[in-house]
Amino acid sequence: MTTRELTYVKAFNEGMHQAMAADPDVFLIGEDVAGYGGVFHMFDGLLTEFGEARVKDTPIAEQAIIGLGVGAAARGLRPVCDLMFMDFIGVAMDQIFNQAAKMKYMFGGAVSVPLTITTAGGAGMSAAAQHSQSLEAWLAHVPGLKVAMPASPYDAKGLIVGAIRDDNPTIVVLNKRMLGLKGPVPEELYSIPMGVANVVHTGSDVTIIAMGRMVVEADKAVTALGEQGISAELIDPRTVQPLDIDTIITSVKKTNRVLIVHEAVEFGGIGAEISSQIQERVFDYLDAPVARLAAPFAPVPYAPVLENAYVPDAPRIAAAVRRLVERS
């Protein structure tokens, strides 16, 4: 297998090209996805390669985009519907959680909805409160939906292909701040299934569970902590729904201490769910309360200084770990 360095957005783009080439049932619709290649260039070159029948620009009408996708998916195609900024998902929410998520259940399994929704979330671009949110917890709360959060170029490609091949509605949340991040990506088509966590680092003193861009920050923190003699294990769940709790539990039983990091608001975030599952399953293996590090309960600030203070970063992750492991 030939592997080379690609950026996150190029890796995603390559996954789209290869998935569409491999399966004629896959098509793409969304705002500015065809002629412009997507505002983040996620879809560059698809129109040229696959033509207007499979790559469609739409008006600014999120509900219609998803509605079309649900219908097409129910009829057997594999649509990829782009919602550009995750913050716009509210407009299309009824189609997502009442239609896409429910059809298979309400039709007794006679229909499946292999719909993929792509969108970009996350702060750190000074894009202000309506263009910076991390709303994965909303989606993960709805039975019937799957939610992937690629945290590396490798995963950006593997998870978009995995989402397209999955027979259920799946939302792939890219992170805007990671678009230029480089990493090794195999040339060949490959797919990462939903619900398989990635153990980014193995360690023995503490488990850090991080999602999306926080994986990158936690990765830096793990290096810094290593220099201080603290061995941290870093787990990226990759998909928050379904959640690979078994990998997390195995790690916690080994390290006895846990920190969960996400960019979304702490209250009611995925961290709360993971924390609860950990204490339900391995309470007797904990040497410290499960710790969380996430955004405060406030909209994402526009001012860069405030935004930096709002989103967790490597130094704060390292500090939180030190608080967990410190002994007198």
Taking CB under 8 A as the rule, does residue 241 contact other proteins?
A: no
Tell me the window of 19-27, 181-189, 216-224, 283-291 that interacts with other proteins (CB under 8 A). Answer: 283-291
Taking CB under 8 A as the rule, does residue 280 contact other proteins?
A: no
For other proteins, the binding residue among 53, 59, 108, 284 (CB under 8 A) is 284
Question: How is residue 101 written in tokens?
Answer: 């998520």
Taking CB under 8 A as the rule, does residue 180 contact other proteins?
A: no
- How many chain residues are in contact with other proteins, going by CB under 8 A? 18
Our CB check for other proteins shows the closer of 201 and 322 to be 322
Q: Name residue 312's amino acid.
A: P
Determine the Cα–Cα distance for residues 229 and 225; give it in Å rounded to an integer.
Answer: 6
CB contact set of 290 (below 8 Å; sequence gap of 6+): 258, 259, 260, 274, 275, 278, 279
Determine the Cα–Cα distance for residues 214 and 236; give it in Å rounded to an integer.
Answer: 9
Taking CB under 8 A as the rule, does residue 287 contact other proteins?
A: yes
Our CB check for other proteins shows the closer of 201 and 254 to be 254
Determine the Cα–Cα distance for residues 292 and 71; give it in Å rounded to an integer.
Answer: 40
Determine the Cα–Cα distance for residues 206 and 324; give it in Å rounded to an integer.
Answer: 8
Q: To the nearest whole angstrom, how small is the minimum distance from the Cβ of residue 246 to other proteins? A: 19
Determine the Cα–Cα distance for residues 155 and 231; give it in Å rounded to an integer.
Answer: 24
Our CB check for other proteins shows the closer of 93 and 288 to be 288
Taking CB under 8 A as the rule, does residue 322 contact other proteins?
A: yes
Our CB check for other proteins shows the closer of 171 and 216 to be 216
Tell me the window of 77-85, 109-117, 216-224, 228-236 that interacts with other proteins (CB under 8 A). Answer: 228-236
Our CB check for other proteins shows the closer of 91 and 282 to be 282
Determine the Cα–Cα distance for residues 298 and 19; give it in Å rounded to an integer.
Answer: 38
Q: To the nearest whole angstrom, how small is the minimum distance from the Cβ of residue 256 to other proteins? A: 5
Strands 198-201 and 206-210: unpaired
CB contact set of 298 (below 8 Å; sequence gap of 6+): 265, 310
193 close to 223: Cβ distance less than 8 angstroms: no
Q: To the nearest whole angstrom, how small is the minimum distance from the Cβ of residue 197 to other proteins? A: 22
Taking CB under 8 A as the rule, does residue 230 contact other proteins?
A: yes
Our CB check for other proteins shows the closer of 187 and 287 to be 287
Instruction: Enumerate long-range contacts of 299-303, CB under 8 Å, 24 or more apart.
Output: 299/129, 300/123, 300/128, 300/129, 300/132, 300/133, 301/129, 302/126, 302/127, 302/128, 302/129, 303/126
Phi/psi for 48 (5° steps) reads -60, -45
Could you confirm whether 201 is annotated as catalytic? no
Residues 14, 31, 62, 307: which is the catalytic one?
62
Taking CB under 8 A as the rule, does residue 75 contact other proteins?
A: no
Tell me the window of 17-25, 87-95, 134-142, 284-292 that interacts with other proteins (CB under 8 A). Answer: 284-292
Which residue in 155, 173, 35, 37 sits closest to 96, CA to CA? 173
Site for other proteins in 186-215 (CB under 8 A): none
For other proteins, the binding residue among 4, 188, 297, 328 (CB under 8 A) is 328
Residues at the interface with other proteins (CB under 8 A): 227-230, 256, 283-288, 322-328
Q: Known catalytic residues? A: 62, 131
